[in-house]
Amino acid sequence: MGEVNLTDVRKEYEDVVAVEGMDLTINDGEFVTLVGPSGCGKSTTLETISGLTTPTSGTIEIADRDVTDKPPKDRNIAMVFQNIALFPHMTVYENISFGLRLRNFDQEEIDRRVENAVEIVQLEGMLDRSPDELSGGQQQRVGIARAIVREPDVFLMDEPLANLDAKLRVSMRTEIQRLQKELGITSVYVTHDQEEAMTMSDRIAIINDGELQQCSPPLECYNRPVNTFVAQFIGSPSMNMFDGSVDNETLDVTDFSVEFDAVDVPLQHNDPVTIGIRPEDIYLASDTDDIAHPSRPVTVTVDVLEPIGDQTYAYLLAGDDEETELLMSLDPDKDVSERDEIDVVFSRDDVHVFDGATGEAITHSLVDTAAVANDVAIEGEA
Ligand code: ADP
pLDDT recorded at residue 382: 43
Taking the centre of ligand 1 as the mean of its atom positions, its distance from the CA of residue 8, in whole angstroms, is 18
What type of residue sits at position 145?
A
pLDDT recorded at residue 368: 77
Indicate which atom in ligand 1 lies nearest the CA of residue 36.
3
Kindly compute the dihedral angle of the four CA atoms of residues 336, 338, 343, 348, in this order, to the nearest 10 degrees. 90
Closest by Cα among 378, 380, 368 to 293 = 368
List all residues 6 or more positions away from 193 whose beta carbon is below 8 Å from its beta carbon. 35
> Which residue, judged by its Cα, is nearest atom 25 of ligand 1?
13
Q: Which of 9, 16, 48, 54 to mutate to test the pocket of ligand 1 (most atoms within 8 A of CB)?
A: 16
Tens digits of per-residue pLDDT, 320-366? 888 899 999 999 999 999 999 999 999 999 999 999 999 999 999 99
Q: Are residues 29 and 171 in the same domain?
A: yes
Q: Are residues 163 and 289 in the same domain?
A: no
Residues 191, 233 contacting (CB under 8 angstroms)? no
Closest by Cα among 86, 28, 35 to 189 = 35
Total count of domains within the chain: 2
Check if 13 has its Cβ closer than 6 Å to any atom of ligand 1. yes
pTM: 0.90
Looking at the chain, how many residues does it have?
Answer: 382
Question: Could you count the other beta carbons within 10 Å of the beta carbon of residue 65?
Answer: 13
Q: Are residues 58 and 206 in the same domain?
A: yes
Q: What angle do CA 7, 149, 72 make, to 5 degrees?
A: 35
Kindly compute the dihedral angle of the four CA atoms of residues 245, 247, 253, 255, in this order, to the nearest 10 degrees. -160
Q: Are residues 177 and 303 in the same domain?
A: no
Q: Which of 44, 49, 209 to mutate to test the pocket of ligand 1 (most atoms within 8 A of CB)?
A: 44
Q: Are residues 219 and 305 in the same domain?
A: no
Check if 40 has its Cβ closer than 6 Å to any atom of ligand 1. yes
Q: Are residues 263 and 166 in the same domain?
A: no
| CATH number for the domain harbouring residue 197 | 3.40.50.300
pLDDT recorded at residue 48: 97
**Is residue 206 within a helix (H) or strand (E), and if so which, with residue range?**
strand 203-208
Q: Are residues 167 and 213 in the same domain?
A: yes
Q: What is the mean pLDDT of the chain?
A: 91
Kindly compute the dihedral angle of the four CA atoms of residues 359, 361, 364, 369, in this order, to the nearest 10 degrees. -140
Q: Are residues 220 and 294 in the same domain?
A: no
Q: Are residues 104 and 198 in the same domain?
A: yes
> Which residue, judged by its Cα, is nearest atom 16 of ligand 1?
39
Q: What is the extent of the structural domain holding 145? A: 4-229
Spatial separation of the C-alpha atoms in residues 199 and 171, rounded to whole Å: 12
Spatial separation of the C-alpha atoms in residues 282 and 295, rounded to whole Å: 10
Asked if pLDDT for residue 249 goes beyond 90, the answer is no
Measured in whole angstroms, the distance separating CA 323 from the mean position of its chain's CA atoms is 31
Asked if pLDDT for residue 161 goes beyond 90, the answer is no
Measured in whole angstroms, the distance separating CA 191 from the mean position of its chain's CA atoms is 8
Residues 184, 30 contacting (CB under 8 angstroms)? no
Tens digits of per-residue pLDDT, 296-308? 999 999 999 999 9
Secondary structure (3-state) at 173: helix
> Which residue, judged by its Cα, is nearest atom 15 of ligand 1?
39
The model's confidence at residue 160, banded by pLDDT at 50, 70 and 90, is confident
| CATH number for the domain harbouring residue 344 | 2.40.50.140
Q: Which of 200, 229, 258 is the last residue of a domain?
A: 229
Q: Are residues 265 and 143 in the same domain?
A: no
Q: Are residues 147 and 254 in the same domain?
A: no
pLDDT recorded at residue 173: 87
DSSP 319: T
Check if 54 has its Cβ closer than 6 Å to any atom of ligand 1. no
Q: Are residues 204 and 88 in the same domain?
A: yes
Closest by Cα among 29, 346, 20 to 211 = 20
The model's confidence at residue 263, banded by pLDDT at 50, 70 and 90, is low
Question: Could you count the other beta carbons within 10 Å of the beta carbon of residue 247?
Answer: 13
